[in-house]
Amino acid sequence: MADEKPWKDVIEVTRLEKNWVTRVELGSRLIAIYDTPSGVFASLALCNHGGADLCDGYFDGHVIECPLHQGAFDVRDGHPVSAPATRPMKVFETRIENGMVQIRA
């Protein structure tokens, strides 16, 4: 499709924190990259509930917990899994290409 956003390199796969969250900057945006048992996922790094940096939160499997209010999200699709989070977080389509994590942003 002509209107699809281009893929952008964000970090080398070898620089990811294994089974954890890695913070990267893409232009003026902070992005959280999640290394999970089923692949690599990405979201905006700031929680949409309180604005805290999700990279400082607790991460387990596929769930990231906000360090401010303990609301949690599934990193695979962004949906909230515990209160007080009620809105999905912004996630990005992610792939690995030539040793790089890439997202559409």
Q: Residue 2: which pLDDT band, with cuts at 50, 70 and 90?
A: low
Residue 3's pLDDT is what?
A: 63
Stated pTM of the model: 0.92
Dump pLDDT digits (tens) for 38-79: 999 999 999 997 789 999 999 999 999 999 999 999 999 999
Closest CA to 5 of 74, 105, 86, 102: 105
DSSP of 14-72? GGSPTTSEEEEEETTEEEEEEEETTEEEEEESB-TTT--BGGGSEEETTEEE-TTT--E
Q: What superfamily would CATH give domain 7-104? A: Rieske [2Fe-2S] iron-sulphur domain (2.102.10.10)
Dump pLDDT digits (tens) for 12-27: 999 999 999 999 999 9
Break the chain into its structural domains and give their ranges.
Answer: 7-104
Query: Looking at the predicted structure, is the pLDDT value of residue 96 above 70?
Result: yes
Angle subtended at Cα 99 by Cα 7 and Cα 32, rounded to the nearest 5 degrees: 60
Q: Is the dihedral angle over the CA atoms 22, 26, 30, 36 positive or is it negative?
A: negative
